[in-house]
Amino acid sequence: MATETTLQPFDFARDPFATKQRGLWEMAFQRLIRNRLAFVSAIILIFITVLAISAQLVPFIERHDATVQQYSIVNEGPSSEYWLGTDILGRDMWARLLYGTLFSLKIGLGTQLIVLLVGITIGMGAALGGKLSDTILMWFTDLAYAFPDLLAIILLRQVLFGRDWPIIGTGDPQIPGFPSAILGTILAISLVSWVTIARLVRGQMLSIKEQDYVLAARSIGASPWRVVRAHMLPNTLSTVIVSVTFGIPLAIFAEGALGFIGLGVPSPYTSLGALMGDGYAYLFVNNWLVVWPAIMVAILMLCFTFLGDGLRDALDPRTRK
């Protein structure tokens, strides 16, 4: 029997759409990559993060110990041995800058993690929990909104730094890599900034609740939890992701501001804010000390802002130009 090689009608339909099927996230990713500014920002951020982490692990990148004081070479400018110069105690600025950057990145990300948990919980609770919980939770949100941000952060920072830290057990770095100085700062900032995301999630949830696809899901008997998990949460996700991306630079900014006015993390820890505060105090002696952390904060804030812009455009095609 001869093999069937004759062409059948509608054969072409067997391979109807050669174009690859792309999901929402893949399409968003494609759009993000095509946004040059956002893409470059993402690369720079990854590079800085990797550099800052590896400086803690590989002496070759750290070059000099960030804590070793050398009184013979204080306040030196940039040189081939000390790339960014040395500070008032003769510590290598390159190593200190990377250390501070890692600290600030931890604060930025840690803050957003807490903000995410608190914000989504409160936003969802307000939108879906009925009239009473909406009123109570939104009243809390209004209350948090009534405090000027920085003022509340300063107050909370004082309150949280003034006590021991047995949240879970004893000993200082209770979460590896997150000593109490970081935890205090993270909590102080996140207790102020969850408000934005809570309001966003509430608004989104309230409008999604009325959508036809939610009605459809409920009418075919999906449990309320399934409706929330499978239909409502994923649809708030893009708003939340964008808000978090913009939240990271705001947290880094808040920490920087704290450090700048002298309320940064205590020694031996250092953050970009603390570095700025120290450098600013010795502005007349050594300009470099404030310049390096300032440039680093500026790069981080610019990159996160561009990335946030890119993500917003990528995730919501309607806003694209």
Partner 1 sequence: MIAYAIRRVVLMVPLLFAVATLTFFLMHSVEGGPFDSDRPISDATRARLNERYNLDGSLLTQYTNFIANTAQLDLGISTSSNERAITDIISEKFSVSIQLGICAFIFAVLLGVTLGVVSAMNQNGIGDYVGVFIATGGAALPSFILAPFLIILFALKLDWFDVLGWELWNYKKMVLPSVALGMLPGAFIARIARASMLDVLRQDYIRTARAKGVKEFSVITRHAVKNAMIPVLTVLGPIFAGLITGSFIIENAFAIPGLGNAFVSSVLIRDYGLIMGVTLFYAGIIAAMNLVVDLAYAMADPRIRL
Neighbours of 72 (CB within 10 A): 7
Q: Which residue's CB is nearer to partner 1, number 269 or number 280?
A: 280
Q: Which residue's CB is nearer to partner 1, number 83 or number 282?
A: 282
Q: Which residue's CB is nearer to partner 1, number 82 or number 306?
A: 306
Smallest distance from partner 1 to CB 52, Å: 19
Q: With CB under 8 A as the contact rule, which of the stretches 47-55, 117-125, 149-157, 173-181 interacts with partner 1?
A: 149-157
Which residue, among 91, 101, 103, 34, has the nearest Cα to 65 in the 3D structure? 91
- How many Å apart are CA 152 and CA 137, to the nearest integer? 19
- How many Å apart are CA 60 and CA 233, to the nearest integer? 45
Q: Which residue's CB is nearer to partner 1, number 162 or number 176?
A: 162
Torsion of CA 168, 169, 173, 178, to 10 degrees: 0
Based on the shown chain and the rule CB under 8 A, indicate whether residue 280 belongs to the binding site for partner 1.
yes
Based on the shown chain and the rule CB under 8 A, indicate whether residue 260 belongs to the binding site for partner 1.
yes
Hey, what amino acid is at 268? P
Indicate which single residue of 297, 307, 311, 314 sits in contact with partner 1 (rule: CB under 8 A): 297
- How many Å apart are CA 136 and CA 118, to the nearest integer? 15
CB neighbour list of residue 302: distance below 8 Å, 6 or more residues apart: 41
C-alpha R_g of the chain:
25
Indicate which single residue of 105, 120, 122, 156 sits in contact with partner 1 (rule: CB under 8 A): 156
Indicate which single residue of 42, 120, 263, 265 sits in contact with partner 1 (rule: CB under 8 A): 263
Residues that bind partner 1 (CB under 8 A): 142-143, 146-151, 154-156, 158-159, 162-163, 249, 253, 256-257, 260-263, 276, 279-280, 283-284, 287, 290-291, 294, 297-298, 301-302, 305-306
